[in-house]
Structure 1
Amino acid sequence: MYSCITIALVPAIQAGPWIYWQDLQSGMEKAAALGFDAVELFTESAEAVQTTTLRQLMADTGLRIGAVGTGAGKVLHGLTLTDPNPDVRVQAVAFIRDMIDFGASVQAPAIIGSMQGNAGAGVTHTQALAWLAEGLETLGSHAESRGVTLIYEPLNRYETNLINRLADGVQFLESLRTRNVRLLADLFHMNIEEASLPDSIRQAGAWIGHVHFADSNRRPIGGGHTAMPDIVQALRDIGYAQCVSAEAFPWPDPDTAARQTIDSYRRYFG
């Protein structure tokens, strides 16, 4: 497992759960100085950061890119994979495909969270899941062609009415033809939806491809009541060896949140 911290470069979402904001170079330099292994990026589009610039920053800091988020497609453009309008769904797939290509250029997976959308008015849950499956089939196969996985994130009930628990995510992914989509285990969302975080991790097993490291209140680990030792043991039990990324509020400020995160990572993961 390796440590990772989030950097958001989208001014429109400054109330969101990302530790560092706006300045990519500064965020990466600070992350490297604290001893993080990687950064997870949230950008406005696939063109928002030049790959050559990003690769130079990676070389300068020694950091890898843990993942790239796609949520700006919804936040800025209103795109989801389950929109009733087929043209919007096509645009959503295109946006995510571009983000997959951006991530693949630095060997990083793309994450589908908010862009999964909802079963809205006049749309059945079954129909929305069918549209979601169609999108993930296409995008999972495209990611595979680019040499990376695609990460799908179950969200809590207040953010989506599609898939909220890891077990339901596993069942859904098992129904797909593509085997290149993995689940994101977000400890904040899981705290709301799962009866037992360690048990749900063990049951999901190898389907987990990314972890979001945030406390019960979405502050950095140590700012809430999440019981980490059993969660860490569960991740070790399933042989998880991927990114543990702090998608948390920058509380009380970004630098303090970053220090608390790396201290917590070292405390629990050693």
Structure 2
Amino acid sequence: MSTLGLDATLVSPDQDPGRLEREMDRLAEHGIGALEIRLERPRSVDARRLRGLADAARFELSAVCDLPALFDPQDSADDALALLEGVFRDCADLNSPVLGGMLYGVRGNRKAQGQRALDKATRFLERAAKAALVYDVRLAVEPANRYETRLFNRAEDAFRAVERIGSENLVIALDTSHMHAEEKSFAAGFETAAPFLASVRLAEANRGVPGSGMVDWTAVFASLDTIAFNGSVTLSAEARLDEVLEEGLPLLREKAGRFTLGRS
């Protein structure tokens, strides 16, 4: 059974521990058992306090980081790796086993394309995975749509990178919004990534409340059930928290079928 997580910024945009603590009981009532913490500014989040709150509430924590524009591995791999070192320390303090996000480039840089750029991104991921191993953190290669990157767009791209690098702590994360734009089908994407798939972000095609866009949630959960996925599942949306909980979660549970969403 996969524990259903929620992007913590939907509860508190600045991920304030006090605000998150006040909401945990309500989140648990809706079947939420994990929070995803954003770490774009390393060491700015009170990771140890968040870990204590999560432990007390019996919540799990996961982490995500999109590299800021000034830290593009295509331009300065050393600076990007130095930034990630702080992120890895935060992950260790959170006790997050996996770090997802765009860790191989920056969103919006569509100039980075072709074999040379891909080789640079792959070499950077290899270095980052080696550094993360010290902190017992697995890095998840997350494909994104072609309008955000030209490096890894599909599950197949991520699979090839992970297989090529061969690091024991390099895995794959998939986002249903990006999959909707790039994959031939959810079934094909999940099946391709399955050997390395560690986390899935449930995001509507329009980034709104699940059910308000074009993602085929029945196909998503049927595909996850087919590959017997039991990794991290996180709900993400650019919507108010109440909308996600009151509208999105009942729909997701209805569509999940045999794939059980909820606390393990």
TM-score normalized with structure 2 length: 0.85
Q: Percent of counterpart pairs with the same letter?
A: 22
Q: Which residue of 2 aligns with 1:264?
A: 251
Aligned match for 1:35, one of 26, 31, 38:
31
Quickly say closer, same or farther: Cα 1:90–1:216, change in 2 above 3 A. same
Residue deviations 1:201-237, cap 9 Å, x none? Answer: 1122122111010112111321112112222122122
Aligned length: 250
Residue 33 of structure 1: how far off its partner (Å): 4.4
Residue 19 of structure 1: how far off its partner (Å): 6.0
Q: Which residue of 1 aligns with 2:131?
A: 142
Q: Give the whole-Å Cα distance in 1 for the aligned partners of 2:136 and 2:182.
A: 32
Q: Which residue of 1 aligns with 2:44?
A: 48
> Would the aligned equivalents of 1:119 and 1:125 in 2 still touch at CA under 8 Å?
no
Runs of 4+ in 1 over 4 A off after TM superposition: 118-121
Residue 5 of structure 1: how far off its partner (Å): 0.5
Q: Which residue of 1 aligns with 2:57?
A: 61
Residue deviations 1:43-90, cap 9 Å, x none? Answer: 44221122331122113322110x22222x415xx212222xxxx321
Aligned match for 2:74, one of 82, 92, 96:
82
> Would the aligned equivalents of 2:145 and 2:181 in 1 still touch at CA under 8 Å?
yes
> Would the aligned equivalents of 2:51 and 2:95 in 1 still touch at CA under 8 Å?
no
> Would the aligned equivalents of 2:104 and 2:121 in 1 still touch at CA under 8 Å?
no
Aligned-pair RMSD on alpha carbons? 2.2
Return 240-249 or 183-192, whichever deviates more.
Answer: 240-249
Residue 198 of structure 1: how far off its partner (Å): 1.5
Quickly say closer, same or farther: Cα 1:107–1:98, change in 2 above 3 A. same
Quick check: 1:3 aligned with 2:12?
A: no
Quickly say closer, same or farther: Cα 1:175–1:221, change in 2 above 3 A. same
Quick check: 1:97 aligned with 2:69?
A: no
TM-score normalized with structure 1 length: 0.83
SS of structure 1 residue aligned to 2:4: strand
Quickly say closer, same or farther: Cα 1:133–1:28, change in 2 above 3 A. farther
Q: Give the whole-Å Cα distance in 2 for the aligned partners of 1:119 and 1:56.
A: 37
| Gapped regions of structure 2 (runs ≥ 5) | none
Q: Give the whole-Å Cα distance in 2 for the aligned partners of 1:35 and 1:210.
A: 18
Q: Give the whole-Å Cα distance in 2 for the aligned partners of 1:255 and 1:68.
A: 22
Aligned match for 2:65, one of 60, 65, 70:
70
Quickly say closer, same or farther: Cα 1:33–1:234, change in 2 above 3 A. same
> Would the aligned equivalents of 1:37 and 1:64 in 2 still touch at CA under 8 Å?
yes
| Gapped regions of structure 1 (runs ≥ 5) | 9-17
Quick check: 1:21 aligned with 2:22?
A: no
